[in-house]
């Protein structure tokens, strides 16, 4: 976590320092993001952009310091899902866990264009770019029991919140977004972007799965629903599973947003002669 924050601080400082040396005027953009979201963790058996990928959207603001560096702030919303029953692994099918969670993310990022770029300037009409930043996000995993969707965090399905058990995980967390994209100037004020970003989180519980099976007696402290949802294994007596591995042993989960951005320049202060600039 400290290394990531130091890297981001250095990136922001370098961006600001470089921008002060440039004479190009700043511009401001607002726009939308339309795309998809997915997660990587215990209950995603298909990896990137699999059948569990869901629609996502958002809004964004971008401050262009110059033709190479920008700052971006955005709010993204999406859904992540996982389902053992869709795995090709017999052990995952037997575990029989599933979840979905809505992700609400507020992120601040720095962007670096590999080529000079300016929306509306025919000499600098496109560029690949990379970005990195920091985000605050909320999630709330739930699963289906009969015809009901049940929130999992209050249940402490691995014994969290019980006597002698761990604390329940927090539903508001920090993540590190990073990724790459491509920008295209479509007109004097409109920019089209293609972007894919991964989010490094610091929790293994996006899917409510990480550690070992708690005993039914322990889970009973959190109520009968906790006993049912803590162990949904097929063909195995729940009490026989106590202490065995339920998840990946604490590896942090990831989530991702990918899609298209469409932004509109609010203030085009720079008015160059495009034939010579």
Q: Show me where the domains of the chain are located.
A: 2-158+169-210+254-268
Q: What is the pTM of this model?
A: 0.87
* Distance in angstroms (rounded) separating the CA atoms of residues 144 and 201: 25
41 and 82 Cβ atoms separated by less than 8 Å? yes
DSSP result, the chain: -HHHHHHHHHHHHHHHHHHHH--SPPEEEEEEEEEEEEEESTT-TT-TT-TT-EEEEEEEEEEE-SSSEEEEEEEEEEEEEEEGGG-S-HHHHHH--EEEEEEEEEEEEEEEESS---TT-TTS-EEEEEEEEEEEEE---EEEETTEEEESGGG-TTSTTSTTPPPPPPSEEEEEEEEEEEEEE-SSSEEEEEEEEEEEES-S-TTS--SBPPPHHHHGGG-HHHHHHH---SSS-GGGGTTSB-SSSSPPPEEEEEEEEEEEEEEE-----TTT-
**Assigned architecture for domain 2-158+169-210+254-268:** Beta Barrel (2.40)
Residuewise pLDDT in 10s, the chain (277 residues): 555 555 555 555 555 555 455 567 899 999 999 999 999 999 997 789 999 999 999 999 999 999 999 999 999 999 999 999 999 889 999 999 999 999 999 999 999 999 999 999 999 999 999 999 999 999 999 999 999 999 999 999 999 999 989 999 999 999 999 999 999 999 999 999 999 999 999 999 999 999 999 999 999 999 999 999 999 999 888 888 999 999 987 799 999 999 999 999 996 554 544 443 4
* Distance in angstroms (rounded) separating the CA atoms of residues 109 and 3: 17
> 259 Cβ partners below 8 Å, 6+ apart?
33, 34, 35, 36, 56, 194, 195
């Amino acid at each position: 976590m400290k290394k990531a924050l130091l890297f981001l601080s250095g990136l922001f400082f370098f961006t600001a320092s470089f921008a002060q040396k440039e004479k190009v005027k700043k511009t401001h953009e607002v726009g939308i993001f339309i795309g998809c979201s997915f997660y990587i963790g215990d209950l995603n058996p298909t990896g990137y952009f699999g059948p569990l990928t869901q629609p996502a959207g958002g809004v964004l603001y971008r401050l262009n310091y110059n033709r190479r560096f920008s700052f971006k702030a955005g709010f993204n919303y999406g859904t992540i899902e996982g389902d053992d029953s869709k795995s090709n692994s017999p052990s995952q099918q037997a575990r029989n866990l599933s979840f979905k969670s809505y992700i609400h993310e507020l992120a601040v990022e720095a962007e670096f264009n590999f080529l000079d770029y300016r929306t509306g300037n025919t000499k600098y009409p496109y560029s690949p770019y990379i970005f990195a930043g920091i985000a605050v996000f909320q999630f709330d995993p739930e699963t289906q029991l009969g015809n009901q969707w049940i929130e999992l965090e209050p249940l402490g399905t691995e014994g969290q919140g019980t006597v002698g058990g761990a604390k329940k995980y927090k539903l508001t967390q920090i993540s590190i977004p990073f990724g790459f994209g491509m920008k295209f100037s479509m007109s004097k004020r409109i920019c089209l972007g293609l972007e894919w970003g991964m989010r490094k989180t610091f929790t293994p519980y996006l899917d409510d799965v990480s550690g070992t099976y708690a005993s039914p007696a322990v889970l009973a402290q959190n109520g009968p629903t906790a006993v049912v949802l803590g162990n949904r294994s097929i063909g195995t007596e729940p009490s026989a599973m106590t202490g065995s591995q339920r998840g990946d042993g604490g590896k942090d989960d990831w989530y991702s947003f990918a899609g298209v951005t469409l932004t509109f320049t609010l203030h085009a202060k720079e008015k160059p002669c495009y034939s010579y600039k």
